[in-house]
Structure 1
């Protein structure tokens, strides 16, 4: 029987890490892939869903490995096209959601430029997962009607975009920040200088949804010290706003487990 997806590329979201949060469609294409190009953050449990004869290629981008990230992305784009032109079913497995700070659209452009069919499969992004697992409502009826998703690490190393965010945050809109571990201190200083209160809540969630997930609660003034005490592992997602406090601390559990989360809290 001919494989129905020969020569097709799937730009696929792997979710935040827990294999139980993978979508049914994502699990389906992973199990049928001939070639699977995956991020470094995709867990072994999810990779184990691939067929025994599938070719697994780690194309994870790491800022600390000294390699040119633009060149790495071009290599990924080339591999997607080359394998699909060979008639292979190719899955590009990306942590979280493919289009949430994931360069998924660049890969779609490369595939379409080559005239190849593709499908994008959404994934649960770490920011949404972190908020849900901490029972932090990013929106709530009668209180706030929007949420901001941003990155703390930009291509030009600028934090100027936070100027616009701060005005919206003053109205009660929470901010979810990815890739802000190394830039957190100057970003919080900018927020305080712009008039956000020292007491505004900050929730840091390390390794969202994984067995070693860790949560630290604090404020604009205390979160830096609390994080140093807790020694959080990357990646870390930050939720900043009125809601980012442990409203239900006794109810927070590991996904699919009865083991309480290890979380710190500001006094």
Structure 2
């Protein structure tokens, strides 16, 4: 059976289980106990680059498949990943689909779960620590704070390109008064910071960009809604990175020295 032939008749082999695993923000110490056990025991792991280099290096080369970005900038289509999961499971294999952060927070885990269910393939969801919270936290930015923000909104900066128009109402977000966390939003930073300003958000609202949170080489850029694009360019911040918009980003300086002095690598790049 080929990767595209997911409708082939089932064989006498009992199907294996697919585990939709969130790897957390990238530090192997932040893997859940369940995730680490599955990585050690599974027959094959399908991953992209977002779990981070240290976690990927833990996986034996003969048991891992990179289904992320390919040479030349091409990406493995989601349809091919879905079909590969079904193919491997129908061979009786235990399969880990490893995603960065949490698979169900802008990780397309929901799409994969629907596909597996439609093809009657057993699967289990293993939640991970989402980078939307973890990356800002290790950089000294709490996404909520008793004195600064009692709500938080998580949005994607990289929507489905086939959509006729954006599903994100930036004008409404500008009026929430809480924290806005944008994942995968480095490239579109000028667009949504402008949209928020035009919707009435104070241009002096603090903003923090956290690149590769908990990874080797973590870096942080800070500024305001007006200046953060220049700060991004000066620091040469690149994906993957999390954007935090709101007063909580301004509280970072109060804790970053403590993180740097007492936790060392946790505040690397601060």
Tell me the TM-score normalized by structure 2.
Answer: 0.85
SS in 2 for 1:262: coil
Shift of 1:222: 1.4
Match of 1:58 in 2: 66
**Residues 142 and 128 of structure 1: CA distance in aligned 2, closer, same or farther (over 3 Å):** same
Shift of 1:112: 1.3
Does residue 162 of the first structure (1) align with residue 167 of the second (2)? no
The partner residue of 2:110 within 102, 105, 112 is 105
SS in 2 for 1:120: strand
Shift of 1:259: 7.9
**Residues 53 and 194 of structure 1: CA distance in aligned 2, closer, same or farther (over 3 Å):** closer
Structure with a larger share of its residues in helix:
2
Match of 2:83 in 1: 78
Structure 2 unaligned regions, length at least 5: 1-13
**Residues 10 and 225 of structure 1: CA distance in aligned 2, closer, same or farther (over 3 Å):** same
Shift of 1:255: 10
Match of 2:52 in 1: 43
> 2:31 and 2:143 mapped to 1: Cα distance?
22
Does residue 226 of the first structure (1) align with residue 231 of the second (2)? yes
**Residues 116 and 40 of structure 1: CA distance in aligned 2, closer, same or farther (over 3 Å):** same
Match of 1:196 in 2: 201
> 1:46 and 1:14 mapped to 2: Cα distance?
8
- Equivalent residues of 1:211, 1:254 under 8 A apart: no
The partner residue of 1:18 within 16, 24, 27 is 27
SS in 1 for 2:249: coil
- Equivalent residues of 1:254, 1:261 under 8 A apart: no
> 2:84 and 2:113 mapped to 1: Cα distance?
13
SS in 2 for 1:185: helix
Cα deviations by residue, 1:92-148 (Å, 9 ceiling, x for unpaired):
001110001111011111111121211100111111112211332222336533200
Structure 1 unaligned regions, length at least 5: none
> 2:237 and 2:17 mapped to 1: Cα distance?
39
How many residue pairs match? The answer is 251
> 1:7 and 1:248 mapped to 2: Cα distance?
47
- Equivalent residues of 2:183, 2:241 under 8 A apart: yes
> 1:190 and 1:148 mapped to 2: Cα distance?
16
- Equivalent residues of 1:206, 1:234 under 8 A apart: yes
> 2:265 and 2:104 mapped to 1: Cα distance?
33
User: What's the RMSD between the two structures over aligned residues?
Assistant: 2.4
Shift of 1:152: 1.4
Does residue 91 of the first structure (1) align with residue 99 of the second (2)? no
The partner residue of 1:215 within 220, 228, 239 is 220
The partner residue of 1:146 within 145, 151, 156 is 151
Match of 1:31 in 2: 40
